[in-house]
Amino acid sequence: MHYDENVISGIYMPKNSGKKPRRLIEALSAFFLCLFQYVPVVGPWRGLMIFPLAFYIFEFFWSLPEFREQQLHLFLFEPKLMFGRIVVLIGFLIFLAAFVQMLKARRKGLLTSGLYSVVRHPQYFGIIILTLGLTIMSIQWSGWHTSVALAWLIEVFGYILLASYEERCLLKEYGKEYAEYKQKVPFIFPIRLSKTLDPLITILIALIIIFLLTLI
């Protein structure tokens, strides 16, 4: 019996029929991702932090449809994905701990203790590590996926924009106190190579990580 992959349930599907909708969805997702980075983060910024993550998750499952279908249990329990799964768990725990710490310290002034003494934006760091784990899992499962790696870089860039805008607001609110804190504590990654080029250093670190992932 001859099987034509372009025929689904008796309906002929042209080879390129799915490409245009996909490109449109990806373009719209990227547009809204960039748009939401410029929405003021004062007050509702905690809600806005979901958009870079949502963009990544959308692209991840779009690029790896088997993980949203019958093979999801393999994604969750497959032994060969263990390392990526551990990275996901570490990222989630970092995010959760930072989020809980922030809730406990609400309305108590500038938060500079705990995870906030390690990096200035531990919640973003946790999310970035979590999605890095997902990216590693995608590579371990079916090899290199440029779209997933690119989505991770875009997500990192999105959080850099959010964090930078947030810091401008915090400088206005706390003045010298936040300026001194900013000089002492790293930006998003717990690595301090420069006190004046934090966003660029963060992008550089992300690019190095992606390069290392190509070696897996």
Which is more confident, 121 or 14? 121
pLDDT in tens, 102-153: 888 877 788 999 999 999 999 999 999 999 999 999 898 888 889 999 999 9
| Amino acid at site 206 | A
Measure the CA–CA gap between 107 and 34, rounded to whole angstroms: 30
Measure the CA–CA gap between 35 and 14, rounded to whole angstroms: 34
pTM for the full model? 0.77
Distances (CA, A) of 29 to 48, 155, 201: 14, 12, 26
Task: Go through the domains of the chain in sequence order and give each one's CATH number.
Answer: 43-213 (1.20.120)
The residue with tokens 């001194």 is 180
Measure the CA–CA gap between 39 and 150, rounded to whole angstroms: 23
**8-state DSSP, 117:** G
Q: Which residues make Cβ contacts (< 8 Å) with residue 70, sequence separation at least 6?
A: none
Measure the CA–CA gap between 207 and 49, rounded to whole angstroms: 21
Contact 152, 210 (CB under 8 A): yes
pLDDT in tens, 31-83: 544 444 444 344 455 567 778 888 898 888 888 776 666 566 777 778 888 99
What pLDDT is stored for residue 35 in this prediction? Answer: 43
Can you read off the two tokens belonging to residue 79? 């032994």
What pLDDT is stored for residue 5 in this prediction? Answer: 35
Distances (CA, A) of 180 to 3, 112, 120, 173, 175: 67, 11, 12, 13, 9
pLDDT in tens, 160-216: 999 998 899 899 989 999 999 999 999 999 988 877 789 999 999 999 999 999 887
**28: burial class by Cβ within 10 Å (0-12, 13-18, 19+)?**
exposed
Q: Which residues make Cβ contacts (< 8 Å) with residue 200, sequence separation at least 6?
A: 194
| Amino acid at site 169 | C
Contact 139, 90 (CB under 8 A): no
Give me the helix-helix angle, 19-37 and 146-174, nearest 10°: 10
